[in-house]
Amino acid sequence: MSQITSSTSEKIILGIDPGTRFLGYGLIKITKEKVTILQYGVLNLTKYTTQGAKFLKIHERVLGILEEFLPDEIAIESPFFGKNVQSMLKLGRVQGMIMSLAFSKSIPISEYEPKKIKQSVTGNGNSSKEQVAKMVEVIGNIKLDAKLFDATDALGIAICHHFHNNNITSTIKGTKKGWGAFVNENPSRVK
Domain architecture of the chain: domains with CATH: 10-189 (3.30.420.10)
- At a CB cut-off of 8 Å and minimum separation 6, what does 26 contact? 14, 15, 37, 39, 40, 41, 151, 152, 154, 155, 156, 157, 158
pLDDT of residue 3: 42
- The string of pLDDT tens digits covering residues 65-108 is 999 999 999 999 997 766 678 888 888 899 999 999 999 999 99
Looking at every residue in the chain, the average pLDDT score rounds to 85
The secondary structure of 19-51 as a DSSP string is -SSEEEEEEEEEETTEEEEEEEEEEE-TT--SH
pLDDT at position 173 is 39
pTM: 0.81
Question: What is the pLDDT at residue 88?
Answer: 83
* Averaged pLDDT, 153-163: 96
Long-range pairs, 48-56, Cβ under 8 A, ≥24: 51/20, 51/90, 51/93, 54/20, 55/93, 55/94, 55/97
pLDDT digits (tens, 9 = 90+) for 132-152: 999 999 999 999 987 899 999
Distance, CA of 37 to CA of 13 (rounded, Å): 10
Cα 143–Cα 18–Cα 141 angle in degrees, nearest 5 = 15
pLDDT tens-digit readout, 11-38: 999 999 999 999 999 999 999 889 999 9
Which residues are marked as active site?
Answer: 17, 77, 150
Q: What is the mean pLDDT of residues 107-130?
A: 94
